[in-house]
Structure 1
Amino acid sequence: MPSSYSRVLMSISAAVLAAVGLAGSFLPRESLRWLGSPPSVPLELMLQVLGALSLGFAMLDWMARHTVIGGIYGRPVVVGNLLHFASGALALAKGLLRVPEARLLWPLALVYAALALGFAVAMFRHPARRTAPPSGGGAEAARGEPAA
């Protein structure tokens, strides 16, 4: 059974990616306008493709939220998320330093940095182990089945 840390991290990641993905996929023109960028067809198409990518990653995280991650467990999912959130946080921070008037992106940059840190911890942290089987011992107790 995954730790609550894993479940919470994967659920938050899925929610953030779903929000970004839905905005990019279904509201590209409005998203560009909100960011202060003039709408253009190539930018709208790029936002839609990136939104689809974010939605796919959101579904991956949502469906993997009940799996064990940490240490060697779930390494591909952890590494993919770590790379996405770390490079995204760095790109957002770099962009915000160059264009300070885009301060509406600071919350997203901070969320990305926090999720990058969360996945870095998950990557190097061994998932919680059960120290002793439930009372009663035996194979049934180890599987969580009630004793007969």
Structure 2
Amino acid sequence: MMQTLGALYFAFGMLNWMTKSGLIGGIYNRPIAVANFTHFTVVAIAILKALIAHSAISISIWIIGALYLVFALAFTLILLRHPLKENSFV
């Protein structure tokens, strides 16, 4: 089970790595943005649920949960906003 989960994370990481130079946001690379948004949001909710049920969980889980929440919020912004053009400030 853990090898399957590791393969899933590796494949997801490779997908993100291969699209790193592409424009993301709005309609551009929308499936990548939706996949990342869904992943980080679901895991953040699951960790939050575990922390509410068991408040004595170690500080490392709190930190991981906070990081997942930050990434979930970041991908929410990426998903809902149009990307800036590279020369928009020049």
Larger Rg: 1
Note the C-alpha offset of 1:102. Answer: 2.1
TM-score (norm 1): 0.55
**Higher normalized contact order (CA 8 Å, seq sep 6+, divided by chain length):** 2
Which residue of structure 1 aligns with residue 67 of structure 2?
111
Instruction: Identify unmatched segments of 5+ residues in structure 2.
Output: none
- What's the C-alpha RMSD, in Å, of the aligned pairs? 1.8
| 1:1-148 correspondence runs (5 A) | 46-103=1-58, 104-129=60-85, 130-131=87-88
TM-score, normalised to structure 2, is 0.87
Q: Any unmatched runs of 5+ in structure 1? A: 1-45, 135-148
Cα distance, 1:107 vs structure 2: 1.0
Q: Which amino acid aligns with 2:47?
A: L
In the TM superposition, residue 108 of structure 1 has moved relative to its aligned partner by: 0.9
2:75 aligned counterpart, secondary structure: helix
The size of the alignment, in residue pairs, is: 88
**1:49-101 Cα distance to aligned partner (Å, 9 max, x none):** 21211111111111111100011001000000000000110001101111222
